[in-house]
Amino acid sequence: MYNYKSGQKVTCIMDNALITNAKIQIQDGNIFICQNIQNGNRCSNRLGYRYSWCIDNGSKSALRRNDIEKLAFVAISQTELLRIKGLI
């Protein structure tokens, strides 16, 4: 299983749509992919994006069940990592 953290940048194919600009959000025990392409289950804080898509617990079977393929984490700068961790 992936090690998800709120604010992580990701790319994926979501319900047959290529998503190249998205972030992970964790809320109420569920994991969401926040992005501007596909409208899905809403989380309250979409990190500035229009839509969110719930991927349940984020396991491989949950990704398949929620029509997510080729999920990949995007490398980020050291400054952005510190911001995600709340250190700046």
How many Cα atoms are found within 13 Å in the side-chain-facing hemisphere of 17? 13
* pLDDT confidence band for 9 (50 / 70 / 90): very high
Please name the amino acid found at residue 1.
M
Q: What is the pLDDT of residue 80?
A: 75
Do 65 and 54 meet the contact criterion of CB atoms below 8 Å apart? no
Q: What is the pLDDT of residue 88?
A: 78
For residues 68 and 84, give the distance between their C-alpha atoms in angstroms, rounded to a whole number. 24
Q: What is the pLDDT of residue 1?
A: 58
pLDDT tens-digit readout, 12-68: 999 999 999 999 999 999 999 999 999 999 999 999 999 999 999 999 999 999 999
Q: What is the pLDDT of residue 13?
A: 97
For residues 70 and 78, give the distance between their C-alpha atoms in angstroms, rounded to a whole number. 25
